[in-house]
Structure 1
Amino acid sequence: MDKMLKYKQEYVVTLKDINLRYSGEKGEVNALQNINLDIEEGEFICALGPSGCGKSTLLKIIAGLLKPSQGEAKMDGEPIDGPDWHRGVVFQSPTLYPWLNVQDNVAFGLKMRKFPKNEIEELTNKYLELVGLKGSEKHKPYELSGGMKQRASLARVLANKPRMILMDEPFGALDALTRQNMQTLIRKIWTKTENTVFLITHDVDEALALATRIIVMSSRPGKILKEFNMDFTYHISDGSKENPRYTPKYMGIREEILKIINCQNEELRFS
């Protein structure tokens, strides 16, 4: 009970005055500067910005894969100190073990955490069904399409029942139709599981169709230039006759985001 109360009182993740610098071939690189971000339970946040702005670096700090040079990164009020199953990561390239079939890939994390065999089977079957891979359990990764591989990667993350899902351009390598289907799937999963999601994308329409909040980042050093709160994803999922993509509100936010990103790209060209 105390833990549940804590979750309600605290943000899932808080980033305070985050800076990250590292040594590159041409000297010190200032990748992130003065990032402040509070992520609430159940939010779906999408990060947009020009290439090289530090979106993936920010995700890796939340995941615990990188430590900031300055500032504090916390989850549920506790410092983020390394990777943790509470924060599941889905990368652009599926990270499936090629020698394991789909079922064993999805079950891998549960086995490492020494779950009982019957619970492993139950959770594996549950999330394979949720991502639409029932019937493909015995396939090896090389037998799967790109979309199926990403669904298997997603099922593997979900089976661990993380509090937060981090996705680094997970649909970037997919064809347009598969990408749209994956967007529909992740929205359905987010609605069903009520996970907190942080997704990186270059696609403004993808962000608008999925996010409850969009953060737009500057060119390096990456800073959060503007945040947009929205509810288009709910209207897309409810089967409403009016497609929110064609509403003045949607188009207005879309144009504002594109203008910010294009300005950043222009600055990069002439810097």
Structure 2
Amino acid sequence: MDEIVKDKTDCVVTVRDVSLRYSGEKGDVTALQHINLNIKEGEFICVLGPSGCGKSTLLKIIAGFLQPSEGEAAMDNSPISGPDWHRGVVFQSPTLYPWLNVHDNVAFGLKMRKFSKGEIKELTDKYIELVGLNGFEKHKPYELSGGMKQRASLARVLVNKPRMILMDEPFGALDALTRQNMQTLIRTIWTKTKNTVFLITHDVDEALALATRVIVMSSRPGRIIKEFNTDFTYHILGVSHEEARYTPEYMNVREEILKIINSQS
């Protein structure tokens, strides 16, 4: 796979020379250093790197939860100054209101944005169906499995029709079978909605199974050290995951990524 040559065509988000420092118990810490990244419309980007490399910090800057110490993150050339429904976030732990049922959790953002009752019902029903939770609309979060909670969290983001979905290790706490089912679901949703997706993972196979571009970060201070154009997710749509996974091309890219990550440990 060739390393990507960046350009700004159809960019949704642009990260320009971003660094982030904070004060820790042992003095100042540089979490990110000189990050430059152009995220294009419709891309599915997966970010890999050793623990503590700043993956989640980068996601929080793009989401608007953190402001960089230097540089700038911008969406459609406007600086990102805070959270915005145009950039929906799915966390590892589902962020559902325990006192609301699935339907009301998914509808919550639309209610806050003053959508009409008819629009709320139509959109909420549509996205509950899209994530496969038909029949569970009246269930409370405590009545759902881990995978179902993440489906509800995903629907809650999708119903707002964001330009971009940011996912911070969303499947990390799930068992292997549920995780693979969720990967299939998010791939299917991505092909239907054409959303731009930015997903953080520790799992190389998960990244290669989903991404159109894989970004590998260094150990702290986090820098982007290599990017890969990948198209295995398109192959998996036509064949089984295992068939795509054991091709020589897949194994070569997987080995190269693992060598880079292990060299940073």
Please state which band the TM-score falls in when normalised by the shorter chain: over 0.9
User: Equivalents in 2 of 1:50, 1:230: separation in Å?
Assistant: 20
Segments of structure 2 that go 5 or more residues without pairing to the other structure are 1-7
1:238-258 deviations in Å (ceiling 9; x for gaps): 237982211111000000000
Please give the alpha-carbon distance, in whole angstroms, between the structure 2 residues aligned to 1:241 and 1:213: 18
Compute the displacement of 1:125 (Å): 0.2
Aligned to 1:115: 115
Task: Name the counterpart of 1:124.
Answer: 124
Partner of 2:186: 186
Match of 2:5 in 1: none
Pairing 1:119-198 to 2, within 5 Å after superposition: 119-198=119-198
CA displacement 1:144-169 (0-9 Å, x = unmatched): 00000000000000000000000000
- One-letter identity of the residue aligned with 2:32: L
Aligned to 1:268: none
Amino acid at match of 1:202: H
Query: Which position in structure 2 is the counterpart of 1:209?
Result: 209
- Contact kept? 1:208, 1:232, Cα under 8 Å: yes
Q: Are the structure 2 counterparts of residues 258 and 241 from structure 1 closer, same or farther at C-alpha, using a change threshold of 3 Å?
A: closer
Please tell me the residue identity of whatever aligns with 2:107.
A
Partners of 1:209 and 1:236 within 8 A in 2: yes
**Distance 1:132-1:72 versus aligned 2 partners, 3 A rule:** same
Contact residue 44 and residue 196 of structure 1 kept, 8 A: yes
2:21 maps to 21
d(CA) in 2 for partners of 1:192, 1:250: 25
**Residue aligned with 1:72, SS:** strand
Give 2:48's aligned residue: 48
| Deviation readout 1:136-194 (Å, 9 max, x if unpaired) | 00000000000000000000000000000000000000000000000000000000000
* Aligned position for 1:88: 88
Is 2:9–2:40's contact at 8 Å kept on the other side of the alignment?
Answer: no
CA deviation profile, 1:98-123 (whole Å, cap 9, x unmatched): 00000000000000000011000000
Match of 1:223 in 2: 223
Distance 1:117 1:244 in 2: 44
Residue aligned with 2:264, SS: helix
Identity of aligned residues (%): 82
TM-score, length-scaled by structure 2: 0.96
**1:249 aligned counterpart, secondary structure:** helix
Rate the CA distance shift 1:158–1:241 in 2: closer, same or farther, 3 A.
closer
Residue of structure 1 in register with 2:237 after alignment: 237
Q: Calculate the TM-score normalised by the size of structure 1.
A: 0.94
> Greater shift after overlay, 232-241 or 39-48?
232-241
1:64 aligns with 2:64: yes
Whether the 8 Å contact between 2:201 and 2:207 is mirrored in structure 1 is yes
Measure the CA separation in 1 of the matches of 2:65 and 2:104: 25
Task: Confirm or deny: 8 A CA contact 1:10 1:77 kept in the other structure.
Answer: no
Q: For 1:214-237, what per-residue CA distance to the aligned partner results, in whole angstroms no more than 9, with x for missing partners? A: 000000000001000010000101
Rounded to whole Å, the distance in 2 between the matches of 1:53 and 1:201 is 12
1:35 aligns with 2:35: yes
Q: How many angstroms apart in 1 are the aligned matches of 2:180 and 2:241? A: 18
Aligned to 1:228, the other structure's residue is in SS state strand
1:66-125 CA distances to partner (integer Å, 9 max, x unpaired)?
Answer: 000000100011100100000000000000000000000000000000001100000000
The one-letter code sitting in structure 1 at the alignment partner of 2:143 is E
Match of 2:4 in 1: none
